[in-house]
Structure 1
Amino acid sequence: MAELYVLDPDGDLIVIHRAFRGPFAPWYHDEGPSDIRDGEPLPPPELRFKASAKHLAMAFPRFKKILEGPYKETNLPRPEVTIEGFDSEALEILLNIIHGKNSKVPRYLTLDMLAKVSELVDDLDCYEQAEVFGDIWIRQLERSFPQKYDRDLILWILISFVFRQSSLFKSATRIAILHSPDPFMTLELPIRPTIAERINRQRLELLERLVTKIHEVVNGLCEGDRCSFQCDSMTLGALVKQIQPLRLWPRPSEPYTELSFHRIAGTIRSLRSPHFETHLHLAEAEEYSPARGTSSYSKKMSKKGGKAMPSISWNTEIEAEKEAVANWEHECSLNNLKHLLVPDIDCLEHSVNVSTTVAISSVVDPGTNTTDSTTTNSSLAANTPLDIKIWTDPNCTEDTFLVEDISNPYGNQISQAKLRTAYGGAR
């Protein structure tokens, strides 16, 4: 017989929990503890809670339906409901909150445990009951909010969505779009499919624009005559040499595996440009001094630019008879690779602030929330107001394009919104 946890001494309901044994949110090929003994899978551990049916019916819409109907047909001496999966400790925390046992509710949770509680809150649709403690837990953990795409970031996407932390949710989805080197993974967490789809779609669109811009510059240097042959060739070689380690040469295609916007943008912002010298011819020697064995070229005006040149001396008469040559550093619009690409990179990155981050714009007022758990698992109604802002930059050109509205990840119907996104810049 499983151990009985008493939440309410006068409780009239037994909650049976069969815990999930597999690894929680496995990252890539992480392996959790083995669930097999002697070739047979181990039975899930079982816990029993003595609870108040009234408290649970008020907190969990799903329990209310169960308690009002199907259980009455059973012959059990006491009503029982079963919850399968999830984490036992997370369920105990949530049931203590529901029964007002605040002294037994921890004020600090690890990120993993908070994600496990979030799973339950989302599944049982009890955000209002857990909201206060959720704010406490999140405040203590957000100081270590991840700034790269990793397992913790995906946990934060779930947590911030379930607990309606709009700012954290926007930040997390933005980082996922910019930093993910592969298609977005939900790690078997209850992250809405529409959220994952939008993150993946916007990542691909962003990388496609970035790769297109880089190869526009490459093709322009290959096919055009933007400066001299030497200048175009050196600039092309320097660019290809630096983008090849990123697998950008030859041109990659979708799904752009092992490519992230953040890494590519960082390389572009630190591109090294080739430096070479242009030969400028000076006037002939004014005098040759046999006694000194040198010929002096006084400060004359260059034949190519009318710029005063410094005095130069040669040690032999033969050299003195030659026309003097001075080397000047070549300068043109191609001489700085960063200037060819960085303005467009900046515009693309800023555009993520507008059209690509999933946003929680507002929450349904508790008094008017009519969400039915039988039609949707979301704690927000499908008609949540939208929050779309237009971002512009006078230094960038603006292209208008049609995208799915990404600021409302809750509804089944995705409205279309015409947004202006900064794209273009210096060309």
Structure 2
Amino acid sequence: MASTISEPVPEAVLHECDPYGDIILQLRHPNPPFAVWDDSIENATVKQEPSPYDNGPQRAANELLFQPSVTIIDYESAVVDPEPADDDLSPAVDAFAHLDGLDLDNQPTPIYGETAAIVDEPMPADTEPVPNDEAPSQDAPEPCPTEKHTPIKIDGEPPGIEIRVSSRHLILASSHFRRMLKGDWKEAKSLQLDGCLHIEETDWDADALRIVMDIIHGRFRRVPKVISLEMLAKIAVIVDYYECHEVVELFSSMWIQSLKHTVPASYSRNIILWMSISWVFQQPDLFRSTTIITTKNCRGTVQTMGLPIPDQIIFRINKKREDFIERSVTALHNLLVELRKGDNSCSFACSSILLGALIKQMDNRKLFLPRPVASFEGYSAAEVAEFVRTIYTPEWCSISKKSSQRARPHSCSLRNYVDPIISDYDASMDDVAIESYLRMPSLTLIS
């Protein structure tokens, strides 16, 4: 079906990073839904029933066993970033050397969220455009016309956003644009009548894209000192796509430092946002924390929501969770067989009591029949480990023929059988973080 032209619309919003820029970035379909989270997946927990053997503190602990946690951890107290050595400073520091005399502390500090707007400031005096009555120098680039562009309006499509940028800045800061503008991409050859290259981008958050472009072009007074977690995640996606990690490094470190205290202790959409942010901006301690939390608390396949997290990392997290639950469930069912046979029990009565107690508790937690199978949807490694830790042994007495010890408490306990099942739980959860960290690319490898 052919598109139809509707009534006139407002002109495209023009943001100038460089008034003499030779490239117009045309953002179509700005501000789409970002990192959509499916709550139904995480809310699909296995229904639990209270055990008749749970009493007092033990019962209270088990009642809380499968409740999702909403606590917030103080990341600063949990993970301490090592101080970098003087000779290990990033080359990005040199790119900001000319800011030494700039009083950034007295600049306004807007907080950017999903709908934050960036207001253009007047150009400093030393960067005023050359007046029309003065001839530009021989080496000065020919500026693009300053009039705003009016895109054709398609029914149902809002006006786009245009950003005037410099090819020299983009080539220097971004490997993506370096390949595009120096290679055989059609964008490198699509010179328009206005003398500019027009590059169309789609589905970026407009504020996040403008922030990244302002950083690339040295417009630091426009860059907010404080942003929301949502905006930081959107910026991380753009930085990863354009491969401009180094130029954004100082700002990303500042933003992360101001938001670290909000890292959640439970698996949620925010923990995946943090995992993506820590991967893109090379924060190994933060990345380790997010992978451990996810591996322990995820109740199914990890939702990446299209964020830049390597597939092999998500594969290892999913596999580590499934492997631990599989080992635990298998060990519990093997224990049922052992108790049923009674080969290693002290008496028929002892094995019968322990077998019945274990069956009832496993059945209450939906771990008996039907036996759970991979991918164990609705079960988390932390919940299974906590269940094993809190398995209850009934208290009973053996009848003795000796009159002085007529009723003697029986010493056999399920704890002797189940404790080895989770002895390596914490170590196994940490393994995936270490393995994932070893796959984290170094900034020195980004070209």
TM-score (norm 1): 0.69
Equivalent residue for 1:329, pick from 388, 392, 409: 409
- Measure the CA separation in 1 of the matches of 2:249 and 2:32: 28
Greater relative contact order, per chain length (Cα 8 Å cut-off, separation 6+) = 2
| 1:256 matches 2:376 | yes
1:411 is matched with none
8 A contact 1:202–1:356 mirrored in 2: no
Distance 1:27 1:113, change over 3 A: same
Tell me which residue corresponds to 1:104.
222
Rounded Cα–Cα distance in structure 2 between residues aligned with 1:203 and 1:269: 17
Match of 2:350 among 215, 228, 231: 231
Match of 2:366 in 1: 247
Asked if 1:129 is matched to 2:207, the reply is no
What code does the residue aligned with 1:343 have? Answer: P
Counterpart position of 1:341 = 418
2-structure distance, mates of 1:339, 1:26:
45
| In the alignment, structure 1 residue 62 sits paired with structure 2 residue 142 | no
**CA distance in 1: counterparts of 2:338 and 2:281, whole angstroms:** 50
Q: Partners of 2:382 and 2:401 in 1: how far apart?
A: 46
Aligned match of 1:52: 166
In 2, Cα distance between the equivalents of 1:41 and 1:196? 40
- Where is the helix percentage greater, Structure 1 or Structure 2? 2
Unaligned runs of 5+ in 1: 33-39, 283-301, 303-307, 310-325, 372-427
Question: Structure 2 vs 1, CA of residues 51 and 122 (structure 1 numbering), >3 Å: closer, same or farther?
Answer: same
SS of match in other structure, 2:340: helix
Q: Partner letter of residue 261 of structure 1?
A: A
Which of 310, 313, 318 is the equivalent residue of 1:195?
A: 313
Letter in 2 for 1:244: D
Q: Does 1:364 align with 2:442?
A: yes
Counterpart amino acid of residue 131 in structure 1: E
Map of 1:269 onto structure 2? 389
2:166 aligned partner, one-letter code? S
Deviations 1:241-276 (A, max 9, x none): 222232211221111111111001112212221011
The 5 Å alignment of 1:344-355 reads 344-354=421-431
Structure 1 CA distance for aligned equivalents of residues 292 and 155 of structure 2:
40
What's the offset of the Cα at 1:74?
Answer: 3.7
Over the matched positions of the two proteins, sequence identity in percent amounts to 33
- Aligned-pair CA distance for 1:215: 1.5
Q: What SS is found at the alignment partner of 1:15?
A: strand
Contact 1:181 1:260 in 2 (8 A): yes
Could you tell me which of 193, 196, 199 is aligned with 1:76? 193
Larger Rg: 1
Q: Name the SS of the counterpart of 2:398 in structure 1.
A: strand
Q: Does 1:4 align with 2:14?
A: yes
Gap change, CA 1:252 and 1:259, over 3 Å in 2: same
Contact kept, 8 Å, 2:266 with 2:293, in 1: the verdict is yes
TM-score, normalised with respect to structure 2: 0.66
Partner of 2:120: none
CA distance in 2, matches of 1:67, 1:244: 63
Q: Say whether 1:279 aligns with 2:396.
A: no
Q: Does the 8 A contact of 1:174 with 1:352 survive in 2?
A: yes
Do the aligned partners of residues 344 and 45 (structure 1) sit closer, same or farther apart at CA in structure 2, a change above 3 Å counting? farther
Conserved? CA contact 1:164–1:360, under 8 Å: no
1:84-103 to 2 correspondences below 5 Å:
84-103=202-221
Q: Deviations over 1:374-414 (max 9, x none)?
A: xxxxxxxxxxxxxxxxxxxxxxxxxxxxxxxxxxxxxxxxx
CA–CA distance in structure 2, aligned partners of residues 25 and 239 of structure 1 = 42
2:301 corresponds in structure 1 to: 183
- Choose 218-227 or 130-139, whichever is displaced more: 218-227
**Relative to 1, partners in 2 of residues 1:346 and 1:15: Cα closer, same or farther, differing over 3 Å?**
same
Instruction: Note if contact 1:27-1:187 (Cα within 8 Å) is conserved in structure 2.
Output: yes
Structure-2 change in CA distance of 1:42 and 1:238 (3 Å): farther
1:61 Cα deviation after fit: 2.2
Provide closer, same or farther for how the CA distance between residues 142 and 55 of structure 1 changes in structure 2, counting only shifts above 3 A.
same
The equivalent of 1:292 in structure 2 is none
C-alpha change, 1:219 and 1:76, in structure 2 (3 Å) is farther
- Match in the other structure for 2:145: none
2:408 maps to a residue whose letter is W
CA distance in 1, matches of 2:364, 2:176: 54
Shift of 1:358: 4.1
Q: What is the CA-CA distance between 1:41 and the residue it aligns to?
A: 8.0
Q: Does 1:43 find its partner at 2:120?
A: no
Partner AA of 2:199 in structure 1: V
Task: Give the structure 2 partner of residue 389 of structure 1.
Answer: none
SS in 2 for 1:359: helix
Number of residue pairs aligned between Structure 1 and Structure 2: 318
Deviation at 1:190, TM superposition (A): 2.8
Moved more, 175-184 or 188-197: 188-197
C-alpha root-mean-square deviation of aligned residues, in Å?
2.4
Deviates more, 1:10-19 or 1:173-182: 10-19
Task: Map Cα deviations across residues 57-91 of structure 1 (whole Å, 9 max, x no partner).
Answer: 21122223333453334443222212212211110
Give unpaired runs (5+ residues) of structure 2: 1-10, 41-113, 115-153
Letter matched to residue 158 of structure 1: S
Matching residue within 9, 24, 27 for 2:37 = 27
Task: Report which stretch shifted further, 164-173 or 123-132.
Answer: 164-173
